[in-house]
Amino acid sequence: MKVLLNSEIKLYRNISGYNFPSKLNYEEAQEIVDEVSVPLLEEGYEKFTIEGLNSFEKLDLFEEGKITAGVLENEKLSAVFLQEGSPAVLLNGEDHIMITKSSDELNFEEIYEEVSKVDDLLDSKLIYAYREDFGYLTSNPQRCGTGMVLESIVHLPATDYLGANSILSSLKRLGYSATPFTNGSSKFVGSIFRISPDRTIGQREEEYIDKFTNILKEVVDMEEQNRKKLYLERIIDLEDLVNRAYATLKYCRIIDEEEMISKMSDLFLGIELSILKPKKDIELMETINKFKNGHLQIERGSLLDVKSRNILRANNIRKMMKEVF
C-alpha cells in the first residue's frame, strides 16, 4: 500500500557579508548570483533568471516544485540552476541559496548525499554565514542550526476517516507539523498531509534524518493498520466512500481543485484496497498534479478564469477515468 508519496530535503544557506534577500538591492543580488554561477556552470548546471522566464515557464517550474513562492516574489533578484537528475539550486528566495531534491521513496539518506555534494561544492567556493553557537544562519530562526528542512507528503485516508486528530496532536507534541496538501487553503483536503520537523537547532544532520525517518515509518505503519481495520470492520462505509468518489470523477462536468484532490484520495484508497480494479497502473501524486490549476493552464496555453479551469479539469478527468477503468 502506497502511503508515503514524496520525500524532500531543502538546505538553506546564506553568504557571509550580505543582507538576507528581503533587504538585498539589485547589485548585491547580482553579485550573489554571479558568485554561485561559477562552480555550478562548471558542473553542467543551466542557469535561469526568474525575471527572464515567461508566465507559463514560471508556472511549470512552480508546479514541478523546482521554484518556490519566495523566488517568484523576488523575481527581479532570483535565479534557479537546474540539471537533469541533480538537486535544484534556487537563489535569492527566502535565503541566498536553497538546495533541494525530492524522491517518491523514504530515502532521506540518499537524498542527503546528493544535496550535500552540491553544498560542499558551493562551500568550497563561498563563505557561508555560520556561527558555532547557532550553526548556519538563515532568515527563519527555526531553520538555523543544520539549515536543513525535511518534508514528506503522506496519504492517510483511513487514519483521517477514523479520526486523524490524535496523530496530528501527537506529531505536534513531538515537534513535527502536519499541514494539508493544498496551495494556501486552510482546509484539510483529500487526507494528504505534509509532515516536517519544526526546527533544526541542536541536532546533527544524521540524527535529524534518523529521527524523522523513524517517525514516518510509524505513521506509515499506523495508516496500513487503519486501512486493514477499515476494510475488515467497515466495508460498507468504505465501499460507499470509494464509489461516491468514482461516480463524481467519472461523471463530473465541473470540479474545483480541492474537490478533485479529495475525490482522488478516496479513489486511490479504493484502488489500493482492491475495491476498484483499474485497467492500468496510475500514481496518486502524478494524477493529482495533472489536474491542478497550473498544469491545466500550461496545457491550454492561456490563463483561465475559475469556471473555465473547473470545466476543463472535469473534461480531462472524465477522459482519464474512461482510459483507466
Annotated binding site for ATP: 6-10, 149-153, 179-184
Q: Which grid coordinates belong to 196?
A: 516536517
- Rounded CA separation 239/228 (Å): 13
Cross-strand pairs, 152? 7, 195
| Contact (CB, 8 A) for 284 and 260 | no
Q: Which grid coordinates belong to 55?
A: 508566465
- Rounded CA separation 261/192 (Å): 9
Question: Hey, CA dihedral for 34, 139, 68, 121, is it positive or negative?
Answer: positive
Integer-rounded Cα Rg, in Å, for the chain is 21
Integer CA distances (angstroms), 321 to 33, 243, 272, 315, in order: 46, 13, 16, 10
The binding site comprises: 6-10, 149-153, 179-184
- Rounded CA separation 229/192 (Å): 19
**Could you tell me where the DSSP H helices lie in the chain?**
26-42, 55-63, 69-73, 108-123, 157-163, 165-173, 205-233, 235-251, 257-272, 284-290, 293-300, 306-324
